[in-house]
Structure 1
Amino acid sequence: MLLSRLILLPFAVASSVTLYVSSVPVSSDASIVPSPIPLAQIEYDVDQSVGTLASYTPPTGSYSSNHLLRVGLSDSKLGSWRGIVTSAASFSEQYHKKFVIHIDEKGEPFHVGFGTSDKGSGQEVDIEIVRKTAGPKPVLNKPIVLNAEGRLESKEPEKSFLQKYWWVLALFLVVQLVSGGGDGK
């Protein structure tokens, strides 16, 4: 087992992919950031859940909470953008940043997530790789079987003695009341 991992190690490293995340302002004001700028270069191995940060350049300027930035992927083939919108204040020095790269079955990125938390000890930026997984499947009961008439095919519950022969007991009581039993005199 260890030998097979050592043999496959060069292929695992060769399958790492580099991802570029860009920061683009939401507003149409061209004076803030004129074009998308590279924010981070992230390398990850398709088989691992943690990536490495090759380069990180935080956006410069004011970190005001009302200035919004788009963080995501630009797909040059489709001409589309995928990602999230966050406040520029998220890139302030007081926050710990975390990039979440969502990859599909082939290892291609299809979405980028970004989050911040209070800065503590450790790295300034964390990278997490999340594989696309199937959602939960519903638990189904046994199918309902109908007979030819369209009714449920079920056994009727066993009846007790009283439920079966109540009419005999009622007839016996009626006969006793009607006959009167005789006076005996």
Structure 2
Amino acid sequence: MTLIPPHDINIQTKMKFIIILLATLNLVHATELAQKTATISFQPISIDNLEPRTLATVAFDPLSLDTELTFYETPLASELFNTDHPPRSKYLRLGIYDVVNASWVSSTTLTSVENFAKGYSPTFLINFDTEGEIIGVSVKGYRIDAGETRDFGPKIRVAQMTKGPRPYLNRPVVLKEGKVEEIVPEKSFLQKYWWIILAAMMVLMSAKGDPE
């Protein structure tokens, strides 16, 4: 039986530790690469035609759809609308806005600024496509009960599009009685146009019978 010197055992232990550490770092790096960020913006609907502003920032994983709110700032109606603006028509356009190209890169929704008012807890619904990209954002404020003590900060819910069922082609049609519809064979050329041929033959025969 061969005994391994203690020095060699320490080297092997260190090598295993280094391998595990490198694998962990690679996993963390891959996770960071997979994560994406998006900025949720809002634009007041008013005659002032204000530019979209940042409402929140989210970090998400396109594969697992794990989404985290990394930044949020409550929009204040007093700073966005004039004092003479009708109180029941204070609306915001909501979506993902590209500042560089100055355009909305997702579908936009319309929401009342009252969803962010005091006494309400906003919940963001982020919609993803089948590839894990954000295609739309909406928000709804839920009234906070006075007796509750849980966290009233903004929350996130996610939803993803799914591929619909594809039609099955060339399948037999089932009738109401449960019988399979019989396939009617296509008519031949003679079966379709026999009456035209018959009429043509009658015209020819009558033409031959006419005296010159």
Q: Could you tell me the TM-score, scaled by structure 1's length?
A: 0.63
- What code does the residue aligned with 2:183 have? L
| 1:23 equivalent among 30, 37, 42 | 42
Structure with more of its chain in strand, by fraction: 1
Structure 2 CA distance, aligned partners of 1:148 and 1:42?
61
Residue aligning to 1:146: 183
- In structure 2, how many angstroms separate the alpha carbons of the residues matched to 1:49 and 1:123? 23
Gap change, CA 1:149 and 1:49, over 3 Å in 2: closer
Contact 2:37 2:58 in 1 (8 A): yes
Report how far residue 134 of structure 1 moved: 1.4
Would you say 1:40 and 2:65 are equivalent positions?
A: no
Partner of 1:84: 109
Q: 1:99 to 1:50 in 2, by over 3 A?
A: farther
Cα contact 2:122–2:154 (8 A) shared by 1: yes
Cα 1:42–1:146, aligned 2, differ >3 Å: closer, same or farther? same
Task: Please state how far the C-alpha of 1:103 moved relative to its aligned partner.
Answer: 1.8
2:140 maps to which of 115, 119, 124: 115
Cα drift, residue 78 of structure 1: 8.4
| Greater RCO (CA < 8 Å, at least 6 residues apart) | 1
Gap regions ≥5 residues in structure 2: 1-19, 82-86, 174-180, 188-212
Residue pairs, 1:61-100, within 5 angstroms: 61-62=77-78, 64-75=87-98, 79-80=103-104, 82-100=107-125
Q: Alignment length, in residue pairs? A: 144
- Alignment RMSD (CA, Å): 3.1
1 CA distance for matches of 2:162 and 2:186? 44
Deviation at 1:58, TM superposition (A): 1.1
Q: Residues 71, 147 of structure 1: CA spacing in aligned structure 2 closer, same or farther, 3 A cutoff?
A: closer
The percentage of counterpart residues that share the same residue type is 24
Please, which runs of 5 or more residues in structure 1 have no aligned partner?
151-185
Query: Which structure carries more helix by proportion?
Result: 2
Per-residue CA deviations over 1:89-147 (Å, capped at 9, x if unaligned) read: 11112111111221223322111121221225234111123222113556897333324
Contact in 2 for aligned 1:101/1:109 (Cα 8 Å): yes
Structure 1 CA distance, aligned partners of 2:138 and 2:51? 21
How far apart, CA to CA, are the structure 2 residues paired with 1:116 and 1:91?
A: 6
The amino acid across from 2:104 in the alignment is: S
Number of the residue aligned with 1:56: 72
